[in-house]
Amino acid sequence: GLDAAGYRAKPVVDAVTYVVKGLAAGGDRDWVVKGDECSTLEMWGAELAALLGFPLGRGFEVRRITDSLVKNRHAVARLADAAHRCRRALALARRLEAVWNNQLLDIVPHQVTRPAERAKSGKMKDPKVVVAGNKLVKLEALFRAFDTCLVELDACRTGPLSGEGDNSPSVMADASVKNLASRLRAAEETLERWATVQGKWEALATVFAAGGDALRKQLPHEAATFSKVTRALAKCCAAAKGVNGRARVIEVQDRLAPLKNVLEDALIDVEEATRGIHDFAEARRLACARLCMVSEHINQNV
């Protein structure tokens, strides 16, 4: 039932209709951000009313609305585009935030096998499985999820349109998306640091489990350093858990912030212990090589 001018303005009418319906329904929680004085939805309604030249409400003639839309079609199109970007960005941010609020860290015991040893009586002990400490698992899938979500959030951050002020709805939506992306990046950096320490610690756990008490006696400094790193990782596992014992991924950066220096020191210690074991193994290898090069008679005496 629209005339030619109204037909040309129909895409704009359709885009702005959502704002009007949202105001009538009291707002859509998926894309409403509360500011100091009003919400983004109320901002869209106020700007739309200013373009139309009269307050929004019931009982207006369709022709009057159509004429106003055609007259200000460029400004209304700009508003509709901003509203669309705002709703899309906020809906994505709310959806991803809900997903990450339910994403938990998977912390399990790290088991290593201690090989059979000879007892003082001369009998061989059976291999024994011991728990070296707790560790994070499924980190590769978690890091892939981080990357995917951050790409989606960055794509939504198109920024405000030209002429929009600092308090515009688009800026508020952009800030909401930016805040979630910042929290995810901080959590990812913390977990990457944790994973680096954990990977080197797992290798040491295998070495000391295989070497047993004899290796610990030969490398007392490295063994003490390994125990120190084990305690540091245990602190991280305990700190990552909330009151109910659940470790939320989105909260890991805040919970481990007081332990930032602990993780950094643990990385230095675990690398130092790794170098110590490597130097010890290299010295043994070279000593064995020299032994093989002496005469058979000396070998028998040795």
State the pLDDT confidence band at 54, using cuts at 50, 70 and 90: low
Angstrom distance (rounded) from CA 3 to CA 11: 14
Tokens representing residue 248 in the block: 């939320």
Mean pLDDT for the stretch of residues 13-21: 60
- Asked if 160 and 170 count as a contact pair (C-beta separation under 8 A), the reply is yes
Mean pLDDT for the stretch of residues 206-216: 84
Q: Could you tell me the pTM of the whole model?
A: 0.72
**Cα torsion angle, 160, 37, 26, 175, sign:** positive
Angstrom distance (rounded) from CA 152 to CA 144: 13
pLDDT of residue 299: 55
- Asked if 173 and 85 count as a contact pair (C-beta separation under 8 A), the reply is yes
Sequence-distant (≥ 6) Cβ neighbours of residue 85 within 8 angstroms: 156, 158, 170, 173
Q: What is the pLDDT of residues 253-301, one digit of tens each?
A: 888 888 888 989 999 999 999 999 889 888 887 776 555 555 665 555 5
Angstrom distance (rounded) from CA 193 to CA 172: 32
Model confidence at 28: pLDDT above 80:
no
Model confidence at 27: pLDDT above 50:
no
Amino acid at 180: L
pLDDT of residue 287: 75
Q: What is the pLDDT of residues 126-181, one digit of tens each?
A: 777 777 888 898 889 999 999 999 998 888 775 555 455 566 667 777 888 888 99
Model confidence at 7: pLDDT above 60:
no
Locus of tokens 């809900």: 98
Mean pLDDT for the stretch of residues 112-132: 74
